[in-house]
Structure 1
Amino acid sequence: MPPCLFCQIIAREIPADILSQDESLTAFRDIHPQAPTHILIVPNKHIVSTNDVQPEDQELIGSMFTLAAQLAHQEKIDQSGYRLVVNNGRGAGQSVFHLHFHLLGGRPMHWPPG
């Protein structure tokens, strides 16, 4: 199996526009943004998808939401509105099999998405 792209970014083996990194999470700008603000929030622990989250990951997943709110404020999209998206599985559009949130904002969001 090829190395995980996000694990390589977390290890700083390949370049990325990293906005935040600590012992638990890494956040960086998406290289193919779907909105003016498009940030990926990734646990440093390799978890393939939502289906693979374990009870001991509860605090980690909660911290992803906290970081999303902090980044939305930092990017000045917290008041205008933003979307958090998790694609779970190939059929839902997951293309990197390492759990991550998409933080999207800076433009009107419509429902339902495509």
Structure 2
Amino acid sequence: MVLRGFYHLSESKHAEANLKNSDYVDEVNFGMFDEDGSVEGEMSLYWIRFGNKLSAKLEVFDDAFKVLNQFTDVIQALGNMRDIQPKEFTKLLKELGFADLTNR
């Protein structure tokens, strides 16, 4: 069974090691995941610091283009938001029915 889910990096047990020398301060990876661990398609929202402000950046690789139509609700919601922060985004994903798959 395929489900919509997400992983929140700063909330995971791997946060310190992965964020220590990164260009971004947080990441939420979300997509279509199968119960066997395979991925149908995924993308990430990164938060990058510009001066005193965190700015979100959406990144999608071409292998996930085939599932973009499964996320129109996320894209529409983001279009109505400004300066969204990681916890706000994960709250939105939960409200839209995504499963929190973060390894804590």
Pairwise same-fold verdict (TM > 0.5) = no
Name the structure with the higher helix share. 2
Name the structure with the higher strand share. 2
Q: TM-score, normalised by structure 2?
A: 0.30
The one of the two structures with greater contact order (alpha-carbon pairs below 8 A, sep at least 6) is 2
